[in-house]
Structure 1
């Protein structure tokens, strides 16, 4: 005997029969309960043994738990159990150091408050002492009245070895100020050695490096000389405090 369609209650013949959701349907009757769109075995979604399309499939939502007497009793019981476990852990860790209970939010808040109070009192005492608001005036040269302990540096460790830093190399003295360029004098054959590096600042000066030999040197004035650099062959003015006589 052929079954009846779950939608139209008519006989369903084998050629048009759809067996789904524990029921039998005509192919045309297997449709969405809301929009009546014809469905097939690939795109249907079943809810409480009824077919739905993807757009009208009933959305499940969470319901809020009412504060019934039973729920309130369970909530109170859970809270009491938590407190009992906390006290048991506290008794077990008692005497093992403050760090066992220092990480609780309440103890962290108390510690932070105590630190703030200590900082406020410290600043108040510091301001009173600095402004002389309490007690007789303090004189630094009077040992009887100066009750503030002098600062004592910490004792050095016996194993600590202090090595002074090496003194930096002396910088070359600045070149003397030239008043005016002078004409090169005749050669006299004096030899000097450069003790610093020097870079020419004018066209009539010469550049040299530390250790260069300066030949045919002539004294122009108190601060400047004229000579020829043996390494480069250039002639010109040079500062007298950058070279020394050989």
Structure 2
């Protein structure tokens, strides 16, 4: 059956066919009913299945009439049927979703909606600022608030337990990899720039509680590591070659030791040397008178009679001996007797006694409540009723101490022991 044009009633072939307003038209016959302007599918307007242009499109008018009971009943039935149909379709589509790609127009519309929402929110917030309406919570409202809070906590914990230890790994797309690489490069560039700008400058910030705790933990861990290495190296000797610096230090130490020793010796010698000076200030000691017999005249074996006469000495007889001692010649003065002074002797001073070393303090002493077996190399094992000495708390739950029975030192749980002193 051939198709007829609605305008010229001639056969319409597929190449020039135009289907619109439930009729078939030639493309050249699809014209405005009033001005005969050629129309297309974009600029036509249909009225009673007749095409019109925008200018000659007939305007519609309405006549207000009173709703009769029949019209009201029909309107109510239509509304009910519409609600039933809507809910029926809603229940069918519940849980089903259709994902479509966001077009640029949709993205622009979403962004505009978001901006408008923020503007409206901030405008309402500024208008309602400092305006409050206080109402009393009724028992029903309090009950509702408590139930909502409980339900929220239960729902949160239920979802949290379900999603615990569940992860979804997705592959990085090329865009994400490029973004990560760019972010890494920008971070490195910014870091180098900030490092160059801040080189040589210092910033002082107050120590927070977390920084003080971290510093104290670091110091305790360092002390534990030091004592562990010290216990391992105890009793071991390391022989190293004396370099010139070490030999110079040894030589200086020996010289200083000799100087200190000779300083005491020179002080004693100086005290002995000062003694004759004191005697010189007080005056020479009176010599003891000697005997005339100690002085014998020179024997003159020859010469003139005058010299022999002058050289003759008078003889003084001693009643004790019965023998005369020659008298010294006139004008002769006997020299004072020389007093012999022995060389000063160095007095030996014993070194002062070394004070006795006090017994090492045991510090904080704890008693083991249970048996404990070490789980790591830096821990110690002990048995029940063992004494732990020199205990030092490290952090919450752990401390460091030495087992008095075995002499081993390391970390141990603080809840396994109780303090004694």
Q: Mark yes or no: TM-score above 0.5.
A: no
Q: TM-score, normalised by structure 2?
A: 0.16
Q: TM-score, normalised by structure 1?
A: 0.26
Higher helix share: 2
Higher strand share: 1
Higher CA-based Rg = 2
Q: Greater relative contact order (Cα 8 A, min sep 6): structure 1 or 2?
A: 1
